[in-house]
Amino acid sequence: MTLRLHTATLTAILGFSSAAGAQQANPLDVIPDKMPFNIPYGAPISLTRAQAAIAAATAEAEKHGWALNVAVVDSGANLVAFGRMDGAQLGSIAVSEHKARTAAKFRRPTKAFEEAIQKGNNYALTIDDVMGSRGGIPLVEDGKLIGAIGCSGGAGSQDEVACTAGAATINK
């Protein structure tokens, strides 16, 4: 009797475990018809336009009382212009640049990596030079990537709001 009870218990546990551990479809196995984020690289953004994007981002941040660092890179992910608002934290200088470089190199907002990580698609953590935090946005003109803007110093949502204002000077 005791052996049957142990066998039944073990069978129930193993049956439950195998059902709970059943393989689920991996969303990364889906093969898209078209390349995602396939924006062609264009000529690099000019200094004047990069500074205008920074001015718009910092103006938005000032409206809210946020002290941010803002970086703009060209289509090759090289720094073109940088602005540090009074009181912006020093650690966010490099973060703003990294967000901009990530958005330019991977031709997508850094929020895409943040969302992938939050959904458990931790493959994004294995890719070199990725910033998985919102606040980096590609700058696209006439269908070509001419650079990217990155903001850091606030909460990710604050960084993104300011960055969006800066990107709006280019992305129409």
pTM for the whole thing?
0.82
Model pLDDT, residue 22: 60
Selection from 151, 149, 129 nearest residue 138 by Cα? 149
Q: What is the dihedral of CA 76, 80, 81, 82, to 10 degrees?
A: 50
Provide the pLDDT confidence category of residue 95 given band limits of 50, 70 and 90.
very high
- CA dist 59 and 65 (Å) reads 10
Q: What does the pLDDT look like over 19-30, one tens digit per residue? A: 455 677 776 788
Q: Give the separation between CA 59 and CA 106, rounded to whole angstroms.
A: 27
How many CB atoms neighbour CB 156 within 10 A?
16
Average pLDDT over residues 100-112: 97
Per-residue pLDDT at 42 exceeds 80: yes
Whether residue 137 contacts residue 147, with contact meaning beta carbons closer than 8 Å, is answered with no
Go through the chain and tell me how many residues it has: 172
Ramachandran area for residue 116 (φ above 0: left; ψ -120 to 50: alpha; else beta)? alpha
At the fourth CATH level, which superfamily is domain 47-167?
Haem-degrading domain (3.30.450.150)
Phi-psi region of 4 (alpha: psi -120 to 50; beta: other; left: phi over 0): alpha
- For 58-70, write each residue's pLDDT tens digit: 999 999 999 999 9
